[in-house]
Amino acid sequence: MTKKRFIAFLIDLIIVTILSIIKLIFILSCHNTNDIDIVYYLYNSIMGFLIFSDIIYKSSIGKKIMKLEIRFKNDEIPSIIIILMRNFFIVTTWPIGLVLILLKKELVGDMLCRTKIIEKED
């Protein structure tokens, strides 16, 4: 399961990288920007995607491809607000999350929102 989650994360990271590069090309071709603006736009693009990626169909593209879903620990489907909170905590606490995923196999957002990732049943 951890391997599938990691692959799903890599898929999402590739997608956000491609989208960020497209946005960067657009920004550079349309605006006179400085380095700070470029960093700001890229940071907002990446953070926005990572926080909001699970909103559509309650799963990111990577999770969809790897057939994973977010559920409460009691197997109920979480609301969009819970998913947003989960992703916000994951993005804002990622250094702690790296350690926790190695030790407990659980991210900060999952712990705080009482969610888990399960394999989707067909």
**What confidence tens digit (pLDDT) does each residue in 66-88 have?**
999 999 999 999 999 999 999 89
* In the chain, where the domains are located: 2-119
87 Cβ neighbours under 8 A, 6+ residues apart: 50, 51, 52, 53, 54, 109
Q: What is the pTM of this model?
A: 0.77
Q: Is the Cβ–Cβ distance between 116 and 68 less than 8 Å?
A: no
Residue 122, pLDDT score: 66
**Is it the case that residue 89 has pLDDT exceeding 80?**
yes
